[in-house]
């Protein structure tokens, strides 16, 4: 009797209705589709240009008065890291960061037992030397009295001339001894002064009035004026800054440095307080150029002192053709880097970064201020613009923003 049998492969084909080779073909096609998608994505990414960008800034200088703008930092002309002139162990630190101190105020103390003993010994030596001077001085006075009596007796014939000569020699001898003891006393006083100076070195005082900006050592650490002992020795106990000496150092492009003169009026705006305009003036143009940055440093004095101004703050300085009058209103428009403004169809335009795409903006510009373009219409403060946009860049093109350089 014949039986009807169905092989395993035929059974599966019968159940699914799809041959096994079809599943393999489908898997291969799926892998190829994924590879094609990845290749297209890589090719698309390679076609997206990478660009440098910058932020559009609001104008804060006086209207129509700035001839040049530059950026820089607040610096202190008078700052010091306070240390000692001897090596010792700190026993007291009497300040914290942010404390205001006055000239001569005690900031810290070193261990002083050995130097105190040396000072006491020197003072005792002074007293001993002064006592010796007093003793020899009394002997010298007695010798002078003896000499006068011997001279009177010799004149009356009641004593020999030899006795008078011996008394005179005694006076001369005591006078020499007295001079020697006085010189010894002077030496002892000098040693006492030196011991006092060494002892005073154990007390660290503020060299001038200012604010403590850094605390560099703690009680128990070794303080030394020289770098010794590796990380176990501190060379300073703290840093003090004279806030009255704060000024601004800015780097001006050497192509525009001819527009800056000493005593030229200026206006400073701190990055931290963009709405606060500080009257200023040029102190000096430093006669040295930075060949790497092609800039010249200019020192600018702040005419208003305020607790908000601290060292190393970023600041933008506007150099003025004339001194600003009161709180003048900020000029119209915004500032954008000149590299962001290009010409398309004989008109100034800029490309704004909007959701990783370039957005073309037509601009109305004013008179440039240094390396900044004055944009009266077309841009807003805070927007991001493309620097040196390629000629092939069009409205709506995708962009990749390059990482910021540090």
Instruction: Classify residue 336 by burial, with Cβ atoms within 10 Å: 0-12, 13-18, 19+.
Output: buried
| Coil, strand or helix at 3 | coil
pLDDT computed for residue 76 by the predictor: 93
Residues in the chain: 406
Residue 351 tokens read as 């490309």
Q: Among the CATH numbers 2.40.50, 1.10.10, 1.10.3470, 3.30.530, which is that of 80-106+207-241?
A: 2.40.50
**DSSP-derived pairing of the beta strands 50-55 and 400-401:** parallel
What DSSP designation does 244 have? G
Show me where the domains of the chain are located: 50-61+332-401, 66-77+243-320, 80-106+207-241, 113-200
pLDDT computed for residue 149 by the predictor: 85
CA pair distance 59, 333, nearest whole angstrom? 7
Tell me the pLDDT of the chain (406 aa) as tens digits: 445 454 554 444 444 556 666 667 777 777 777 776 665 555 454 456 777 888 888 776 553 466 788 899 999 999 999 988 888 999 999 999 999 999 999 999 999 999 999 999 999 999 999 999 999 999 999 988 888 888 888 788 787 778 878 888 988 998 999 999 999 999 999 999 999 999 999 999 999 999 999 998 899 988 888 765 455 678 889 999 999 999 999 999 988 888 899 999 999 999 888 888 899 999 999 999 988 888 999 999 999 888 889 999 999 998 987 665 555 556 678 888 888 999 988 899 999 998 888 899 999 988 777 678 889 899 988 899 999 888 888 888 888 887 755 4
pLDDT computed for residue 368 by the predictor: 77
pLDDT computed for residue 202 by the predictor: 92
What are the percentages of helix, strand and coil residues in the chain, rounded to 5? Answer: 35, 35, 35
Would residue 275 be called left, alpha or beta, if left means φ above 0 and alpha means ψ between -120 and 50 degrees?
alpha
Instruction: Classify residue 319 by burial, with Cβ atoms within 10 Å: 0-12, 13-18, 19+.
Output: buried
Return contacts of 111-118, CB within 8 angstroms, 24+ apart: 111/202, 112/88, 112/199, 112/202, 115/195, 115/198, 115/199, 115/201, 115/202, 116/199, 118/195, 118/198, 118/199
CATH class entry, domain 50-61+332-401: mainly beta
Could you tell me which of 92, 123, 72 has the C-alpha nearest to residue 286? 72
User: Phi and psi of 217, rounded to 5°?
Assistant: -145, 160
Q: In what order do the strands lie in the sheet with 372-377?
A: 57-58, 334-337, 372-377, 364-365
Q: Name every residue whose Cβ is closer than 8 Å to that of residue 150 and which is 6 or more positions away in sequence.
A: 159, 163, 164, 166, 167
Q: Would the CATH topology of 50-61+332-401 be identical to that of 80-106+207-241?
A: no
Fold of the domain spanning 66-77+243-320:
Elongation Factor Tu (Ef-tu); domain 3 (2.40.30)
Whole-angstrom CA distances from 363 to 213, 374, 375, 376, 378 are 46, 10, 7, 7, 5
């Amino acid at each position: 009797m014949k039986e009807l049998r169905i092989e395993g492969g035929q059974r599966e084909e019968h159940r699914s209705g799809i041959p096994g080779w079809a599943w393999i073909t489908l898997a291969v096609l799926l892998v190829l589709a994924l590879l094609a998608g990845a290749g297209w994505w890589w090719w698309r990414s390679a076609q997206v240009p990478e660009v440098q960008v910058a932020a559009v800034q609001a104008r804060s200088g006086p209207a129509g008065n700035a001839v040049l703008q530059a950026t820089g930092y607040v610096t202190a002309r008078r700052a010091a890291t306070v240390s000692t002139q001897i090596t010792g162990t700190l026993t007291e630190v009497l300040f914290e960061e942010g404390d205001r101190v006055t000239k001569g105020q005690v900031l810290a103390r070193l261990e002083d037992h050995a130097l105190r003993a040396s000072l006491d010994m020197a003072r005792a030596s002074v007293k001993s030397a002064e006592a010796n001077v007093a003793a020899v001085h009394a002997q010298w006075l007695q010798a002078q009295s003896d000499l006068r009596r011997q001279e009177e007796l010799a004149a009356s014939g009641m004593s020999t001339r030899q006795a008078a000569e011996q008394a005179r020699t005694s006076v001369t001898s005591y006078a020499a001894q007295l001079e020697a003891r006085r010189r010894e006393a002077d030496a002892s006083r000098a040693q006492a002064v030196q011991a006092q100076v060494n002892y005073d070195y154990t007390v660290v005082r503020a060299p001038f009035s200012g604010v403590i900006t850094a605390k560099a050592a703690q009680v128990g650490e070794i303080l030394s004026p020289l770098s010794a002992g590796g990380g176990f020795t501190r060379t300073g106990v703290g840093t003090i800054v004279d806030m009255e000496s704060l000024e601004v150092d800015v780097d001006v492009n050497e192509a525009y440095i001819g527009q800056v003169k000493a005593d030229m009026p200026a206006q400073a705006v701190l990055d931290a307080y963009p709405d606060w305009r500080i009257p200023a003036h040029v102190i000096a143009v430093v006669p040295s150029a930075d060949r790497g940055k092609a800039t010249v440093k200019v020192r600018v004095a702040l005419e208003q002192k305020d607790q908000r101004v601290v060292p190393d703050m970023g600041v933008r300085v506007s150099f003025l053709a004339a001194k600003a009058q009161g709180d003048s209103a900020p000029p119209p428009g915004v500032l954008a880097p000149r590299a962001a403004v290009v010409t398309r169809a004989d008109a100034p335009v800029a490309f704004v970064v909007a959701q990783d795409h370039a957005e073309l903006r037509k601009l109305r510009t004013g008179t440039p201020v240094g390396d900044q373009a004055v944009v009266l219409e077309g841009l807003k403060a805070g927007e991001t613009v493309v620097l040196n946009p390629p000629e092939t860049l069009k409205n709506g093109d995708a962009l990749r923003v390059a990482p910021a350089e540090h």
